[in-house]
Amino acid sequence: MGDIPQPASKPHKVGDHVQVYIGPDDPDSDYHGLICEITNVIKDNLAKETGRNLDAYSYNLRNLETGESLPVSFRHNDVVPLRDD
């Protein structure tokens, strides 16, 4: 069994490449595993409610395979940086 990918320890930037990593029970689970580019960084005040700084970030993504923008945004904890293996 491999390691479970973890979210980045700092916010992503426009142009970063990430993989969507969400559970099978998530309503957007069809996007799990997609390799994407971040096209927009959204910052809100969720971190004030949760006490976790990275909860303030969500991202608009573009599928690198098809070039299409995804119709939903993803929270920081729903994307993981690509590994440089």
Summarised one tens digit per residue, pLDDT across range 35-73 is 999 999 999 999 999 999 999 999 999 999 999 999 999
At 20-31, the pLDDT tens digits run: 999 999 999 999
Q: Is 77 strand, coil or helix?
A: helix
Quote the tokens at residue 55: 């909860």
Write out the H or E segment, with its range, that includes residue 50.
helix 46-50
* DSSP 8-state assignment for residue 47: H
Asked if residue 38 lies in contact with residue 59, where contact means CB atoms within 8 angstroms, the answer is yes
Residue 67, phi-psi category: left (phi > 0), alpha (psi -120 to 50), beta (remainder): left
pLDDT at 29: 96
Distance between CA 17 and CA 82 in Å, rounded? Answer: 6
